[in-house]
Amino acid sequence: MVTKVPPRPSARHRAVRPLRLLVATGLAAASLAAVPQAAQARQAARADDKADSGTTLTVAVSQSVDSLSPFLAQKLVSTSIHRLAYEYLTNYDAKDAHPVPGLATAWTSSPDKLTWTYTIRKDSYWSDGQQATAEDAAWTFTKMMTDPNAATANGSFTANFKKVTAPDPQTLVIELKRPQATMTALDVPIVPKHVWEKVSDFSKFNNDRQFPIVGNGPFVITDFKVDQYIKLKPNKRFWRGAPKFDELVFKYYKDGDAAVAALQKGEVSFVPNLTPAQAAALKTQPDIKVNDAPGRRFYALATNPGARAKDGRTFGNGNKALLDPEVRKALFLAVDRATLVDKVFQGHAVQGEGYIPPRFASYFWKPAGGQLRTYDPARAEQVLDAAGYRKNGDGKRLGKDGRPLEFRILCHATDPNDKAVGKYLQEWWGRLGIGLKVECLDSVSDPWVKGDYDLAFDGWSVNPDPDYVLSIHTCGTLPATPKDTGATDNFICDPRFDALYARQAVEYDAAKRTDLVKQMQSRLYDTGYMNVMAYPNALEAYRTDQIRSITTMPEAGGNLYGQDGYWSWWSAVPAARSADAASGGSSTGAVIGIGAAVVVVAGAGLFWMLRRRSTADDRE
């Protein structure tokens, strides 16, 4: 399922000075003047050739875009695109994910933490040429506060907002009802007011009617075809500097093997979500680099707790036996996580425990003592027997209605892990006398939002701050009525969990907030609605003859696809261009290093760009 996008340890917020781009214009001009005329002509010719041929970075994806509207999108591929096309107030540093400037260059809070003031940068422009201002941010947040249809994707961030104003173009003021710990990590794309104020129905507008789409991020969306591709061009006026590839394309592949074959042929530059077998095979291929890094996702088994709406009405056809906590407990005990890590993920994963992956060490939680549920099929049998679920003469486990217990599980047809794990569950639960039908679909969204499932394979990409991924299990994210679509993951509504969520959301003390987040994970674990089975590694590969260098997040052993920011695609250097630049033949300049200081060579001239790199879910 999704992996939204979404935050940062609060209580560490600090005002960060505006980033400045120092360009020695006079020096550069003087240096160019010193280059012999013939050399300049050769450089210009090469630049023209490069412009004609262009450099394209093509990323293979298997997930369908749910919407190009930042107000509706929840899937990882969609929210990742929005990270590229729109600025957020703040970003996450690529090195360690601490909050750094985005559209805002600095931020301060009042002593009571109820008023936050952001300084909006002067050098951010929409791709249609208009300047991005505080008014755009104020309009975006206010729209989410006043129109429920505009709060579908990211409403949890503004639910506590009291008032948002823009006293001047460079000042944004957010007044809160109560303190809020996520104010330095509001993962909300800021949109251009002059474009979006013309939209009449935010529940239906998918932002795919006119291209290019106006944004102020490092890339501009230029074209989109459903389940075919998304095309983007560099935003030449992006304040941090334009991306180095001439085009970025996300190309859809329903079949993972087809995507890998395309990578081997050089038809795509990058493939994420590899199987262990695919990764092993690609490691032996020339010009291909495999990246195997700790992931930011969890892989879980979600149980339908009884789909319901805020108005109290229930819907869907979930098996009512799963409302019994003893049944959920027995199923929990009959899942061998160690075997799944070893056999399905072939060691490229960590055994699942709490809701937050170990990559986020401060929030990582482990059950201990009597709370820990290890693989124990004999104990699972005892739990079911004691709860009155007996076997008949054929070895079938009977429900309270006298019928055999048989469950359905939603499976993503494009995910080989779902199918493999499904076979193990059929075997393990079959020994308990429980039947399981694995229903693999190209898109699980329709039955999921309708509540027409018993169990489902679930997974979210967690952000540096866990607020969003925890919010999707609160009662407030349920759909308003059975006909609506809420921001809920799988209809969990637990008052004890909600109380803990409300407390962590207003806690600025890092240690206290961390403890509350761990208590929330403990509660999710005990209820048994979410069984986190594994934390998969990020297995991905790219062609080194197309991509010369690229930034992982975190920089030390991190992932490339689905980052908490735009660092990978923004930083990627084309292999051909880099080689050309290294020989002194390109007028575009050679990037010597990617870090706090970047040296750019322009002909014989040398100047410095000082860049502090800052840094970003999805139901999949």
Q: Verify cis geometry, omega within 30 degrees of 0, for the bond prior to 111.
A: no
| pLDDT attached to residue 402 | 95
Strands 247-252 and 56-61: parallel
Quick one: how far is CA 246 from the chain centroid? 24
Of the candidates 270, 295, 285, 281, which has an alpha carbon nearest to the alpha carbon of residue 62? 270
Residue 517 has pLDDT above 80, yes or no: yes
Looking at per-residue pLDDT, the higher value among 591 and 145 belongs to 145
Residue 602 clears pLDDT 90, i.e. is over it: no
pTM: 0.78
Bridge partners, residue 439, by sequence = 410
pLDDT band, residue 567 (cuts 50/70/90)? very high
Average pLDDT over residues 308-324: 96
pLDDT tens figures, 411-433: 999 888 999 999 999 999 999 99
Residue 576 is predicted with a pLDDT of 76
In the block, tokens 């962590």 appear at: 504
pLDDT in tens, 366-394: 999 999 999 999 999 999 999 999 999 99
Single-letter residue type at 530: M
Rounded CA gap, 518 and 356, in Å? 9
At 247 the three-state DSSP class reads strand
- Look up the CATH number of domain 299-536: 3.10.105.10
Q: Which residues contact 502 (CB under 8 A, 6 or more apart)?
A: none
> What is the overall mean pLDDT for the chain?
86
DSSP labels, 532-592: EEEEE-EEEEEETTTEEE---BSTTT-BSTT-SSSHHHHH-EEHHHHHHHHTT--TT--B-
CA distance 502 to 494: 12
pLDDT given at position 363: 96
Average pLDDT value for residue range 131-154 = 97
pLDDT of 343-358, one tens digit each?
Answer: 999 999 999 999 999 9
The residue whose two tokens read 């750019």 is: 600
What is the band of 252 on the pLDDT scale with cuts at 50, 70, 90?
Answer: very high
Q: How far apart are CA 561 and CA 541, in angstroms?
A: 10
* pLDDT score, position 419: 95
Q: CA 301, 306, 308, 313: dihedral to nearest 10 degrees?
A: 170
Q: Provide the pLDDT for residue 485.
A: 85
Q: What is the pLDDT of residues 200-222, one digit of tens each?
A: 999 999 999 999 999 999 999 99
**pLDDT of 604 higher than 90:** no
Region 270-280: mean pLDDT is 96
pLDDT digits (tens, 9 = 90+) for 127-141: 999 999 999 999 999
Continuous segment of H or E residues that includes residue 608: strand 605-610
Among 24-38, 335-349, 373-387, 454-468, which stretch is predicted with the lowest mean pLDDT? 24-38
Question: Position of tokens 């080989």?
Answer: 416
Question: Can you tell me the distance from the alpha carbon of 163 to that of 547, in angstroms, rounded to the nearest whole number?
Answer: 45
| Domain ranges for the chain | 65-196, 299-536
pLDDT of residue 577: 58
What is the arithmetic mean of pLDDT over 326-346?
A: 97
Measured between its terminal Cα atoms, the distance across the chain in Å is 3
47 versus 219: the higher-pLDDT residue is 219
Average pLDDT, integer, range 12-29: 30
Whether the predicted pLDDT of 237 surpasses 50: yes
Q: What is the pLDDT of residue 53?
A: 57
Sign of dihedral through CA atoms 179, 184, 189, 190? positive
Q: How many CB atoms lie within 10 A of CB 495?
A: 9
> DSSP alpha helices (H): ranges in 54-98?
76-85
The model's pLDDT over 477-497, given as tens digits with 9 standing for 90+, comes to 999 999 988 889 999 999 999
Exposure pattern of 294-331 as b/e (b: 16+ CB <10 Å)? bbbbbbbbbbbbbbbbbeeeebbebbebbebeebbbbb
The pLDDT value recorded for residue 552 is: 97
Alpha helices in 387-432 (DSSP H): 416-431
CB 437 within 8 A of CB 423: no
**Share above pLDDT 90 across residues of the chain, in percent, rounded to a whole number:** 80
User: Residue 443's pLDDT band (boundaries 50, 70, 90)?
Assistant: confident
Architecture of domain 65-196: Alpha-Beta Complex (3.90)
